[in-house]
Amino acid sequence: MKPKAFVTRPLPAAALGRLASRCEVAVHPEDGALQPAQLGAACRDVEGLLVVGGRVNEEVLKDAPRLRVVANCGVGYDNIDVAACTARGIVVTNTPGVLTDTTADLAFALLMAVARRVVEGDRLVREGRWQWSMLWGADIHHQTLGLYGFGRIGQALARRGRGFEMRVIYHDVQRAGAEIERELAAQFVDQETLLRESDFLSLHVPLTPETHHLIGARELTLMKPFAFLINTARGKVVDEEALVEALKSHRIAGAGLDVFEHEPHLHPELAKLENVVLLPHLGSATAETRLKMALLAVENLLAALDGRRPPNIVNPEVYA
């Protein structure tokens, strides 16, 4: 008898077909997050759970006694209570690597859009209000690109910045190797230097208790008044209330945001501001990347159900 698997959102046909070849599969047909009670009910007899943007917490796990693996279709896994899964012997996996360049592309697109006021310009052209002297923006070339977090995506953004002859500085809890710093001409600096010297500050850190509100009122005050903040990491890394005040008062020049503190809900003031570009969490949203993510999540899930160690395990201690 095939093991049962539940998928929280529709996935590309190739990924679902691969999963269905080995499992009895049920898929939530709507592109929206299930509430914990709904997800728990859906997983009552399930051994494998493939999560696309939903929360897996204690409420879900207590209703899923047969669950053996939670395969997250994404790099970040702050939506999953990993400790609770580990305590129950449930394997948790994610999908790193396959979305690195795609997310870096989007981060740089946000950077360019907010600096050159692309969204405002598009609207003015559509409204027939075309004036050559309008919408002076900020240069990108030869400016300082600051990276808070220097993992795969941070380093990929550094490569893009080098193409614009930008000076690259970064801060991370762990300094990169000398070879990587030479390749990317990237300079390791302390947190305060990063904030003070960046013309564009891009965030690439995971959401942890230590990074919650990593950027708040104090940090925004340290930034240049003509600096821009780019966030494609996690919404809760930024104190959104403090950011709104900084944008309204022009304490910083602008922001490009793909993630939000209370996603999918938006701070009511953000939509009113001209100096911010807002996207609905599109970091990995290309057909090629989403397919790679889905296939990797499926392979992680199948490996765990087969009793094999998945290639992208988050909680290896579960095997101890």
CA dihedral in degrees (151, 154, 156, 162; nearest 10)? -130
Q: Compute, in degrees rounded to 10, the torsion defined by CA atoms 225, 230, 231, 235.
A: 30
Tokens of 245: 């005040």
Q: Which of 181, 241, 263, 269 is catalytic?
A: 263
Query: Is 281 a known active-site residue?
Result: yes
104 and 153 in contact (C-beta within 8 Å)? Answer: yes
Distance CA 220, CA 203 (A): 13
In sequence order, the 6+-apart residues with CB closer than 8 A to the CB of 197 are 144, 146, 169, 189
Q: Is 126 a catalytic residue?
A: no
- Annotated catalytic residue 245: no
CA nearest 90: which of 40, 49, 55? 49
Q: Which residue, chain included where needed, has tokens 């698997």? A: 5
Among 117, 281, 290, 299, the active-site one is: 281
- Measured between alpha carbons, how far is 266 from 54 in angstroms, rounded to an integer? 18
Nearest to residue 73, comparing CAs of 283, 307, 262? 283
Catalytic residue from among 234, 240, 261, 290? 234
Mind telling me the catalytic residues? Answer: 234, 263, 281
